[in-house]
Amino acid sequence: MFRKMNSGEQEELKKQILYEIEVQKHQIESLQKSVEPVVPDNAIGRLTRMEAIGSKAISETALNSARTKLAKLEVALGKVGDPEFGTCRRCSNPIPKDRIMLMPESVVCVACAGIK
Ligand SMILES: [Zn+2]
pLDDT 10s digits, 100-112:
888 877 889 999 9
Buried b vs exposed e over 59-94: b needs ≥16 C-beta within 10 Å?
beebbeebeebbebbeebbebbeeeebbbbeeeebb
Residue 9 confidence (pLDDT): 81
Interval between CA 3 and ligand 1 midpoint (Å) = 12
Interval between CA 113 and ligand 1 midpoint (Å) = 7
Interval between CA 13 and ligand 1 midpoint (Å) = 19
Q: For 28-85, write each residue's pLDDT tens digit.
A: 999 998 888 777 665 667 777 788 888 888 999 999 999 999 999 998 898 888 878 8
Interval between CA 79 and ligand 1 midpoint (Å) = 18
Burial class (CB in 10 A: 0-12, 13-18, 19+), 103: middle
Residue 31 confidence (pLDDT): 93
Interval between CA 22 and ligand 1 midpoint (Å) = 30
Residue 62 confidence (pLDDT): 95
Residue 42 confidence (pLDDT): 59
Residue 116 confidence (pLDDT): 62
Interval between CA 93 and ligand 1 midpoint (Å) = 6
Lowest mean pLDDT among 11-15, 18-22, 23-27, 80-84: 80-84
Interval between CA 116 and ligand 1 midpoint (Å) = 12
Decide: helix, strand or coil at residue 85.
coil
Q: Say which residue, 2 or 76, is predicted with more confidence.
A: 76
- Under the banding of pLDDT at 50, 70 and 90, the label for residue 21 is very high
**Residue 104 amino acid letter:** P
Give the C-alpha distances (Å, rounded to integers) separating 61 from 23, 32, 33, 35, 67.
Answer: 17, 11, 14, 10, 10
Contact 94, 87 (CB under 8 A): yes
Interval between CA 86 and ligand 1 midpoint (Å) = 11
β-bridge partners, 94:
87
